[in-house]
Amino acid sequence: MRPTLNFSDKTSNSILVFGAHPDDIEFGCGGVVALETIAGRKVHFVVTSQGEAGTNGSSEQRTHEATAAAKILGATIEFVELDGDAHLEVRAAHAIKLAELIRRFKPTTVMAPTPVENQHSDHARLGQLVRDATRLARYAGLKELIEQGAHTIEQLFFYTVTPDGEPRDITPIYIDVSSPEIISTWTAAMQAHGSQSATRNYIDLQMTRARLLGARAGIEYAIALYPNEPLVYKSLTQAGKGARNF
């Protein structure tokens, strides 16, 4: 049994993951989520559309698939209405709404799609909105959220749904997802999005990317995450090994 998600503990070491569409999180960083929940960390998904503009699958089918996939990964999920699929705009009101979620859940870590423009516009714009929201969440004087306590996260990481979203100016960190249990769980979560396999073999695409990234680091499978700002370590022992596998 995975631990029941309870965000009432303000000191909980939890992760809040944002996705623009019902399958983004699973395909983009599902292996990382599996790694964290298997280790006992609490993970919650926030999806900002129902995928209604997609070529395959109704909004009802896609939200059902996302709910099933989140359960497989050991995460909880909610859907937040902003502008709708393929209509997302960068607005202060949206950033404040996402900041409210961050204050409510009080995560240690936040993950979102990269804000790189040359990809699905919803991905890039959500990445920008989440980046803004993490800042707004720590401003205690923000009048719209004045009744909530300010919250400062420790890390903001960006993930990529497609290779087009990979930043060229940020050095990624590689997360080792080579464990058979992680790979099995991640694959099962992607398979839950059966409506999307009618267009392209997205599972094979993501696994190929993970194998290539793993080869760079001398491991079997890896997922790249892009830190929003330089990471701070308390000691060199926390830093892991170099990806060039010296």
| pTM of the predicted structure, to 2 decimals | 0.92
Structure tokens given for 123? 């991905």
Q: Are 197 and 203 in contact (CB under 8 A)?
A: yes
Cα gap 210→159, rounded to integer Å = 13
In one letter, which amino acid is 96?
I
Label residue 245 by pLDDT band (50, 70, 90): low
Q: Are 67 and 75 in contact (CB under 8 A)?
A: no
The mean pLDDT value for 205-209 works out to 96
> Which strands form 173-176's sheet, in the order they lie side by side?
76-79, 43-47, 15-19, 109-113, 155-159, 222-227, 173-176
Label residue 224 by pLDDT band (50, 70, 90): very high
In one letter, which amino acid is 57?
G
Encode 221-242: b = buried (16+ Cβ within 10 Å), e = exposed: bbbbbbebeeeeeeeeeeeeee
The C-alpha angle with vertex 51 and arms to 45 and 52, in degrees rounded to 5, equals 145
In the chain, what percentage of residues exceed pLDDT 70?
A: 94
Domains and CATH numbers, the chain: 15-238 (3.40.50.10320)
Cα gap 230→244, rounded to integer Å = 20
Query: pLDDT (tens digit, 9 = 90+) per residue, 139-184?
Result: 999 999 988 899 999 999 999 999 999 999 999 999 999 999 999 9
3-state secondary structure of 159: strand
Structure tokens given for 166? 């990979």
Query: pLDDT (tens digit, 9 = 90+) per residue, 36-72?
Result: 999 999 999 999 999 888 878 798 999 999 999 999 9
Q: Looking at the predicted structure, is the pLDDT value of residue 3 above 50?
A: no
3-state secondary structure of 47: strand
**Which residues are bridge partners to 177 per DSSP?**
none
In one letter, which amino acid is 107?
P
Helices (H), 57-195: 59-73, 92-105, 121-136, 180-191
